[in-house]
Structure 1
Amino acid sequence: MSHDRLARIRQLNRARFKRHTGIYPETFTHMELVLDERERSKRKPGRPAALHIGKQLLLTLEFWREYRTFAHLGHDWNIHETTVQRTVERVETALIQSGAFRLPGRTSLTQEQNVFQILAVDAAETRCERPTRSQRVSAARRNDIP
Structure 2
Amino acid sequence: MNYLSFAPSLMLEILKIAESKQKYYGGRKNKIVIEERLLMTLEYWKDYSSYRVIAKRYNISHTSCIRNIFWIENILIKSGIFNLPGKKDLTKNKGTNNNLLAIDATETPIERIKKN
- TM-score under structure 1 length normalisation: 0.52
Give the partner amino acid of 1:65.
K
- The equivalent residue for 2:77 is 96
Q: Distance in 2 between matches of 1:71 and 1:78?
A: 10
**Greater RCO, CA 8 A, separation 6+:** 2
Give the partner amino acid of 2:7.
T
- The equivalent residue for 2:35 is 54
Structure 2 residue 22 is matched with structure 1 residue 39? no
Q: 1:55 to 1:24 in 2, by over 3 A?
A: farther
After superposition, give the CA deviation of every residue in 1:19-67 in whole Å (9 maximum; x if it has no partner): xxxx956210000000000111223231001111111110001111100
- TM-score under structure 2 length normalisation: 0.65
- The equivalent residue for 2:66 is 85
Corresponding residue pairs, total: 83
Maintained 8 Å contact 1:70/1:85: yes
Gaps of 5+ in 1: 1-22, 105-146
- Tell which deviates more after alignment, 35-44 or 59-68: 35-44
Maintained 8 Å contact 1:96/1:103: no
Gaps of 5+ in 2: 86-116
Moved over 2 A (4+): none
Q: Per-residue deviation at 1:93?
A: 0.6
Residue identity over aligned pairs, in percent, reads 30
